[in-house]
Amino acid sequence: MLSRELGALLLILGTSIGGGMLALPAVTAHLNYLSVMLYLVLAWGLMTLGALALVMVQLQDKAEAGVITLARKTLGPVISTLTLITSFFLLYSLLCAYTAATGDVFHAILNRLHLFLPQRLTLFLAALLLGSVVYRGIAAADYLNRIFMFMKIIACFLLIASLIPSTEFQHLALGQHQYSLNGFLIMITSFGYGLILPSIGRYLNFDKKRLLRIVFLGGLIPLVLYLIWIAVVHAVLTHEQLSLLASSGNTTSILLQQLESITGKPILQSFAWIFGSICTFTAFLGVSISLLDLLTDALKIKKTRRPPLFVMLLTYLPPTAITLFAPHLFVQALTYAGICCALLLVVLPIGMWLNRMRQSKA
Look at residues 67, 79, 69, 75 and name the one whose alpha carbon lies nearest to residue 357.
Answer: 75
Q: Output the DSSP codes for 50-65.
A: HHHHHHHHHHHH-SS-
The whole-number pLDDT of residue 41 equals 94
> Is the sign of the CA dihedral 308, 65, 138, 205 positive or negative?
negative
Nearest C-alpha neighbor of 214 from the set 63, 21, 51, 20: 51
Work out whether the CA dihedral 263, 267, 269, 272 comes out positive or negative: negative
CA-based nearest residue to 8, from 136, 142, 130, 131: 142
Measured CA to CA, the distance from residue 126 to residue 139 in angstroms comes to 20
Positive or negative, the CA dihedral 135, 138, 139, 141 is positive
Q: Map residue 31 onto helix, strand or coil.
A: strand
Give φ, ψ of 8 to 5 degrees.
Answer: -65, -45
- CA distances to 52, 60, 80, 117, 137 from 358, rounded to whole Å, are 17, 13, 19, 58, 37
DSSP reduced 3-state for 176? strand
The pLDDT value recorded for residue 48 is 92
Determine the Cα–Cα distance for residues 119 and 125; give it in Å rounded to an integer.
Answer: 10
- What angle, rounded to 10 degrees, do the helices at 266-298 and 251-263 form? 160
CATH at 320: 1.20.1740.10
For residue 56, with 0-12 CB atoms within 10 Å meaning exposed, 13-18 middle and 19 or more buried, which class applies? middle
Amino acid residing at 166:
S
**Nearest-5° Cα angle at 71, 182 to 332:** 20
Q: Amino acid letter at 43?
A: A
Q: 97: which residues sit within 8 A by CB, 6+ positions away?
A: 19, 329, 330, 331, 333, 334, 337
- Domain assignment of residue 232, given as a range: 2-361
pLDDT of residue 324: 76
pLDDT at residue 42 in the model: 93
Kindly report the pTM of this predicted structure.
0.78
How many Å apart are CA 307 and CA 297, to the nearest integer?
Answer: 12
- How would you write the pLDDT of the chain (362 residues) with one tens digit per residue? 557 788 888 878 877 776 667 778 878 877 888 888 999 999 999 999 999 988 888 888 766 567 777 888 888 888 888 888 888 888 887 788 778 777 777 777 787 777 778 877 887 887 888 778 777 776 777 777 788 788 878 888 887 888 888 788 777 777 666 767 777 888 888 887 887 787 788 778 888 888 888 888 888 999 999 999 889 888 887 777 777 766 665 666 677 677 777 766 666 666 667 777 777 777 787 788 878 888 887 787 776 667 788 888 888 888 888 877 766 665 566 667 778 888 888 888 899 888 888 877 76
Q: How many domains does the chain have?
A: 1
Q: How far apart are CA 238 and CA 245, in angstroms?
A: 11
Q: How far is residue 97's CA from residue 335's CA, in Å, rounded to a whole number?
A: 10
Nearest to 71 by CA among 299, 361, 340, 298: 298
Q: How far apart are CA 258 and CA 170, in angstroms?
A: 19
